[in-house]
Amino acid sequence: DVVPVDGQEWTSDPWTVTERDGRLYGRGACDMKGFVALALAALPKALEAGVSRPLQLALSYDEEFGCVGAPAMIAEMARSLPKASAVIVGEPSRMAVVTAHKGSPAFRVHVRGHEVHSSILHTGVSAIMTGAKLIDWANRMNEANRARQPSAVAGLFDPPWTSLHVGTISGGTAENITAADCRFGFSFRIVPDETPADWIAALKAEAARLEAEMQAVHPDTGITLTPSYEVPPLRPETDGEAEALARRLTGDNATRVVSYGTEAGQFQAEGYSAVVCGPGDIAQAHQPDEYLEVSQFEAGEAFLDRLIQQLAAKDPA
């Protein structure tokens, strides 16, 4: 899947790949249809080279909104296929080997208030004003996290701390009525050496505290947290096969991490060795005139060609 192009100004058809000035333009060219095309093209090459070890190509849906299609896919792979010794997720990294990323659980928050005229607001409960308190808690957590000395792992990231974010909000019916409803999207970006469950528990505890305040005024109020998705963090592996393989193929020995999430964290959580390594620059993702440099496309092709050569050399004649 890809993000929409609604409201974006494109100089060429976003749904048709256009090559100009050494770049391949199109929605998803960078994120991440370039790698998908290369992986598909690599399979017949592997057959021609005589590779007999299983090569598994995993394509999931709804990746853009929390990688929600991947868990069922990974579970089915674990049931029906030989376990892969290494998983390479081809998100755009400019062919650098990424060994860690943040985790990102997310929730849909519904605050239920009690409507009264705002002149007697003390007898009602404003869902919006209570929601604002939960959002203020997120701001305070961000400031506290920012002020702490980062751990060695957190220090690799930008920003080097766990962040909390509210990206959408709606609610209320009129300026002079306490809001009956407030809904917003709440998400985390959690550094790999912290536990998502701890942050989720902290959010639930703050919601419960605010709910008790609401229900002291009116019993038919409350806060509901509905999970939207959870992408586990990708943690650096000790002697990980995926990292070793990707480094052999690229020659990249630098320590690299990203703050966004990928299916690599989901694979790792199910016991697979995983890294992120793919052509293109994430800065181009989701943008108007999204593009993948031809040189990056060729670097990705060379990467997979070297993988095939290595596998063919290891297979018995």
Across the beta sheet with 163-171, the strand order is 163-171, 181-189, 104-112, 222-231
Which residue is catalytic, options 6, 13, 48, 63? 63
Q: Check 1, 13, 48, 213 and give the catalytic one.
A: 1
Angle between helices 34-49 and 294-314 (to 10 degrees): 30
SS3 category, 274: strand
Q: Please, are residues 300 and 34 in contact by the beta-carbon 8 Å criterion?
A: yes
Which strand (E) or helix (H) includes residue 7?
none
Give yes or no for a contact between 92 and 30, defined as CB atoms under 8 angstroms apart: yes
* 63 annotated active-site: yes
**298 annotated active-site:** no
Q: Return the number of other C-beta atoms located less than 10 Å from residue 195's C-beta.
A: 12
CA atoms within 13 A on the CB side of 89: 25
As annotated, the active-site residues are 1, 63
